[in-house]
Amino acid sequence: MELKDRLKQARKHAKLSQVQLAERAGIAQASVSEIERGLTRTSGYLVKLATICGVSPIWLSEGTGSMLVDVLSNVEPGPPILSSTRRIGIMGTAQLGPDGYWVGLDVGEGWVETYSRDEDAYALRLKGDSMAPAIRNGWVAICEPNHRLVPGEYVMVTTIDGQSMVKELLFENEDGVSLMSVNAAYGERRMIPWDRINTIHYVGNILAPSKVLGRY
């Protein structure tokens, strides 16, 4: 059984739709869809997805062992997440250029309601197709400056020359960060030294345009 089939089985076990699973994991629904369509053979989200679905992370990622977590395990589950959604303002609209990055922002308006424990979280509306299909035109990125960086997940990076981009973080070391383009058509990997980075923020969620509410 391939990863795509195991995730479908896990989601069915948890009685969750793709949208529901993505919202609970704090990722884009497109990310779940890509795994289930076999477009992604690995993901930094698998442990989180397995936990939400109540299945074994080893089974989901490698296909070995039992699907269900051993009920005799002496590891007690953590407390349920009871935090409610909160309003996060859209600070600007970024028009993506042909190279997958933007310089400057248009004035933002509106807000979204989503889960975030970062008091400094902010939202960016992204326009353009340079990050499709994972992030489509008009979708909103929720950036969390105080969240730790997680390999395999998205980050928003601004360099000292004012270029901003959303990339997948491959790894970080004392020299800098290794990034993967969301859309492979714009290059695969890029290493940026720390002395060239102005800010790098964790992207906690990607929301569809329909989630944008009113004027902030």
**pLDDT 10s digits, 34-54:** 888 887 765 567 878 888 898
| Domain-embedded: residue 27 | yes
Closest among 102, 116, 90 to 212, alpha carbons compared: 90
Same structural domain, 111 and 190: yes
Average pLDDT over residues 200-211: 90
In the chain, what is the straight-line distance between the N-terminal and C-terminal CA atoms, in Å? Answer: 47
Q: What is the pLDDT of residue 50?
A: 86
- Give the least confident one: 54-58, 100-104, 176-180, 196-200: 100-104
Question: Are 69 and 14 a contacting pair, CB within 8 Å?
Answer: no
* Tally of structural domains, the chain: 2
Domain that holds residue 39: 3-62
**pLDDT 10s digits, 127-164:** 887 777 777 888 899 999 999 998 888 899 999 998 88
Question: Which domain CATH number covers 39?
Answer: 1.10.260.40
Question: Are 194 and 176 a contacting pair, CB within 8 Å?
Answer: yes
Average pLDDT over residues 56-70: 80
In percent, the amount of the chain with pLDDT more than 70 equals 86
Same structural domain, 93 and 164: yes
Same structural domain, 94 and 193: yes
Q: Which residue has the higher pLDDT, 65 or 90?
A: 90
Question: Which domain CATH number covers 140?
Answer: 2.10.109.10
| Domain-embedded: residue 80 | no
Same structural domain, 51 and 157: no
| Domain-embedded: residue 216 | no
| Domain-embedded: residue 10 | yes
Same structural domain, 168 and 111: yes
Mean pLDDT across the chain, nearest whole number?
83
Give, in order, the Cα–Cα distances in Å from 109 to each of 48, 93, 114, 158, 210: 32, 8, 16, 21, 14
Same structural domain, 55 and 116: no
Q: What is the pLDDT of residue 82?
A: 47
